[in-house]
Amino acid sequence: MGSAAGGLEALRTGLVEPAMERGWQVAVTLTPTAGNWLRLSGEVARLEKLTGLPVRDEPRLPGDARPHPPVDCYVVAPASANTVAKLAMGIADSQALTQVCEAMGTLGLPVVVFPRVNAAHARHPAWRRHLEALREAEVHLVYGPDVWPLHEPREAPSGRELPWAAVLDAADRLTT
């Protein structure tokens, strides 16, 4: 799952292609805003061609077949501060959030979250509580200065510099 956070533009090259090179079957679900961003840049079509599956950013209608195969592991990357807060509070107001919130309540189904936030978001008083709630739900967070140093809002590096390998390594560890 990808959300509208900086680095989303590198989702295909940073996360999806390397995951497929590791032998994963990848299905992409995006928040509605992330879907709009990637559709406008042509990335949705490239992701669909690469994975052979539709990119989801809207719920399916009752009676529609599931467009994605069963999931062995959910990866939420990049996760905006908004996405992290909603996951922590169980707010499932989009297809992407619904899937991950359900996964968080499913025993034995790993969830990896890479919060792509800046220092201002991390200083918000609620931030620590959100991370604690995710940890309590046994979500594996790819987070901390050893993985991703926090940057001031105007200093954020590009998506190509995100710790995509650390995200994939965490998912590999949780699924083997």
Domains and CATH numbers, the chain: 8-58+71-175 (3.40.50.1950)
Sorting pLDDT into bands at 50, 70 and 90, what band is 120?
confident
Q: Report pLDDT digits (tens) over 53-78.
A: 999 999 889 999 999 999 999 999 99
pTM metric for this prediction: 0.91
Helices 81-89 and 95-104 pack at an angle, to 10 degrees, of 50
Closest CA to 111 of 144, 131, 137, 145: 137
